[in-house]
Amino acid sequence: MKTIIEPFRIKSVEPLRRTTPEERERLLEQAGYNLFLLRARDILLDLLTDSGTSAMSTEQWAALMRGDESYAGSDSFYRLKETVQDLTGFRHIIPAHQGRAAERILFAITCHPGAIVPNNSHFDTTRANIEYRGAKAVDLPIAADTQSRLPFKGNLDIEALERLIESEGALNIPLIMITVTNNSGGGQPVSMANIAQVREIASRHGIPLYLDACRFAENAWFIKQRESEYKDWTPKQIAQKMFSLADGCTFSAKKDAFANIGGLLCTNDDRLAEQEKDLLTLTEGFPTYGGLAGRDLDAMAVGLEEVLQPDYLEYRIASTAYLGRHIADHGVPIVEPPGGHAIYIDAGRMLPHIPRHQFPGQSLAVELYRHASIRSVEIGSVMFGENARHELLRLAIPRRVYTQSHIDYLVEAILEVNERRDGLRGFEIVSEPKYLRHFKATFRPV
């Protein structure tokens, strides 16, 4: 049998609510054409994010009941710690309520004004937390062309990293990060060889290397598929090797840990860990719960085991690729090849008549909602301003949530919008906040 099926069946369902095109037009106006400001009940397929939107398994729900709600030293914490140490090998495992809480603590301690933090591509909260410290977040991705089908398009540009260290000085670089998979760069994987090269450079200059490890399991699966040395390794062995090359990581459990909330900050540096735990206690909570309930720690621990099951990863990556191939082979330009957790439509290329400053990605996001009640998110000039490399629309796929017919509906809707793309118009910003403007900005059609 060639068909790759969802390796689970559905035990609990949540109804979806239809809306009419007229209702959606009114809702769009009320939301200032910012899909973050819509109510989730007014959306049919919600592809805004794969973060915290996973369906939990029966084992995870059972683990919630096992959760031990002691303030200090709960069994839940020790179960999580054991799982994470087995996976990553890091000495210090610090829970936090989300990935960005871990980032804020890490950068508050390591970054001074003027410092520079390179990454293959910074995620928006990572960049914002670095800039908030007065430091500079530098993206060093390889190949900028969205159409080239490289196997490891998420890689960090090694030569650019060497040049940056040369020109800025290692002392001004408190750490180097690699984001796996490269979310802002199209959900593209990073090869083990690339991580090892960055490790070598980091060691040579005495700079710590951190993984932004949100999608470590999806990255491990791509390595298994595409880096021949690892084809006989289990996803878990590959993940262990990835972590062994780093000095620490930040992690959002809302992605590959199938948890609805949670994050981690891990390090091998004893002194740093003490400072981090002090700051954690100040703003998040005691180091054995970090702003989470014990039950959340247990759900994370179980999720981290489940996500490495080969049947799951095979289905996950195949399902995303199915969506990507079906729209791309009918003429919709996507970031090639399809990534792990999302498909990114190259809205700049699809809508060449809309200039960057009129936000082609936003225009496409609005149109997909108007046409088919699908929510997606712009990843371009709205999100990154001047730093945007491309004008993309991300369709993020929640884990274990939507079925094949949902994906087919999505394909149909995108192809219909593509048919009449020449009629789409641009937007201008009416109001915007100082940081992370995409969450709250409002727009009007040009």
Ligand X SMILES: *Cc1c(COP(=O)(O)O)cnc(C)c1O
Task: Report the interface residues with ligand X, using CB under 6 A.
Answer: 51, 98-100, 123, 125-126, 179, 183, 212, 214, 252, 254-255, 263
Which residue's beta carbon is nearest to the bound ligand X?
Answer: 99
Q: Quote the least distance from Cβ 227 to ligand X, whole Å.
A: 21
Element (H, E) at 264: strand 263-267
Of 33 and 384, the one with the shorter C-beta distance to ligand X is: 384
Of 213 and 350, the one with the shorter C-beta distance to ligand X is: 213
- Provide the 8-state DSSP code for 3: P
Of 299 and 332, the one with the shorter C-beta distance to ligand X is: 299
Q: Are 151 and 226 in contact (CB under 8 A)?
A: yes
Of 28 and 106, the one with the shorter C-beta distance to ligand X is: 106
**Could you give the C-alpha distances from 22 to 19, 27, 333, in angstroms and in order?**
8, 9, 29
Q: Quote the least distance from Cβ 111 to ligand X, whole Å.
A: 16
Of 76 and 126, the one with the shorter C-beta distance to ligand X is: 126
Q: Quote the least distance from Cβ 86 to ligand X, whole Å.
A: 22
Of 337 and 340, the one with the shorter C-beta distance to ligand X is: 340
Q: Quote the least distance from Cβ 295 to ligand X, whole Å.
A: 18
Q: Quote the least distance from Cβ 174 to ligand X, whole Å.
A: 18
Q: Quote the least distance from Cβ 75 to ligand X, whole Å.
A: 24
Q: Please, what's the largest Cα pairwise distance for the chain?
A: 61
Of 313 and 424, the one with the shorter C-beta distance to ligand X is: 313
Q: Are 320 and 342 in contact (CB under 8 A)?
A: yes
Q: Please state, in angstroms and rounded to a whole number, the distance separating the CA atoms of residues 336 and 346.
A: 10
Q: Quote the least distance from Cβ 98 to ligand X, whole Å.
A: 3
Q: Are 47 and 269 in contact (CB under 8 A)?
A: no
For 57-188, list the strands marked E by DSSP.
92-96, 116-119, 136-139, 176-179
Q: Quote the least distance from Cβ 265 to ligand X, whole Å.
A: 11
Cis ω on the peptide bond leading into residue 337 (within 30° of 0)? yes
Q: Spell out the residues 6+ positions from residue 318 whose beta carbon is closer than 8 angstroms to its own.
A: 4
Of 126 and 188, the one with the shorter C-beta distance to ligand X is: 126
CB count within 10 Å of CB 269 equals 16
Of 99 and 333, the one with the shorter C-beta distance to ligand X is: 99
Q: Quote the least distance from Cβ 424 to ligand X, whole Å.
A: 28
Of 99 and 361, the one with the shorter C-beta distance to ligand X is: 99
Q: Are 265 and 259 in contact (CB under 8 A)?
A: no
Q: Please state, in angstroms and rounded to a whole number, the distance separating the CA atoms of residues 410 and 396.
A: 12
Q: Specify the length of the chain in residues.
A: 446
Instruction: Write a three-state SS string for 174-241.
Output: CCEEEECCECCCCCECCCHHHHHHHHHHHHHHCCCEEEECCCHHHHHHHHHHHCHHHCCCCHHHHHHH
Q: Quote the least distance from Cβ 278 to ligand X, whole Å.
A: 21
Q: Are 168 and 176 in contact (CB under 8 A)?
A: no
Reduced to 3 states (helix: H, G, I; strand: E, B; else coil), residue 77 is helix
Angle subtended by helix axes 404-419 and 310-328, to nearest 10: 20
Q: Quote the least distance from Cβ 392 to ligand X, whole Å.
A: 14
**Spatial CA neighbour of 179 closest among 193, 164, 195:** 195
Among the residues of 235-269, which ranges form H helices? Answer: 235-244
Of 254 and 326, the one with the shorter C-beta distance to ligand X is: 254
